[in-house]
Amino acid sequence: MAVFSRFGTPLLNLAFKKARVGKRAQKIFEKFYGENQAAGLSRYSAYDASKKELIKKFKLKVNDRGEVLNRVEGGPIQKKLAGGLLRVGIKTIYRDPSSRKALGTLKDYILKQYKAKDLKSLSTLGKLDLKIRKAEGLKRYSKLISTKINPSRFKGSKSMTKKAKKIMKTAELSASQYAQKIKQITKAYMHKKANPQIKTHSEGGEIVIGKNVDKDLL
């Protein structure tokens, strides 16, 4: 069923779990709709054609209720692989100059190891390796910072000390889980590379590369 706003704007009637993904899909849908109307289609025909075009282009899996399924259920590959690292503690680490320098050194090391000029020319395996090492580095930094947190840094406040330790513990766990996820993705990628005849989950097969994987990594 076609849905339009009171101003005549076509509203994509698909339910995305992430609002930012839904907003992006809406903008792309409006672009397709404009192109289809310019081609001479009526508003309802343009709506249906644009929706089908969007689903086909991004290989969306939609159930009977119009809900876009997530990656595990065989749905779209969402952007932003590092979403699992958006924690207060990890942001604090990135603000530290010495930490940024260490992470930069790690990047340079990986580029040298894989003989790449920059991140754009780095191979898929190199990108995955960098992500794993970076996550493991963030895990170690989080643990180190946690051991140095004491009441004297918060004017004797035990509650603030406890809160800070909790933040860094959450950051440590997030980095650890992220590293494990990328290792699983790497394993699946290597298996797929060694067996090109096997289809990935998004291709209708059994191999699940992983959740929230950048398309550039596949």
Q: What residues in the chain have per-residue pLDDT under 70?
A: 70-87, 197-218
Helices (H), the chain: 19-38, 43-57, 88-95, 97-113, 124-147, 158-194
pLDDT at 85: 61
Give the contacts of 115 (CB within 8 A, at least 6 positions apart).
Answer: none
Question: What's the confidence (pLDDT) of residue 112?
Answer: 94
pLDDT at 74: 38
Q: Burial, 55: exposed, middle or buried (Cβ in 10 Å; 0-12, 13-18, 19+)? A: middle
Backbone angles phi, psi at 10, to 5 degrees: -70, 130
Residue 144 tokens read as: 């180190």
* Cβ atoms of residues 208 and 200 within 8 Å: yes
Instruction: Tell me the pLDDT tens digit for each residue of 170-195.
Output: 889 888 988 988 888 888 888 878 87
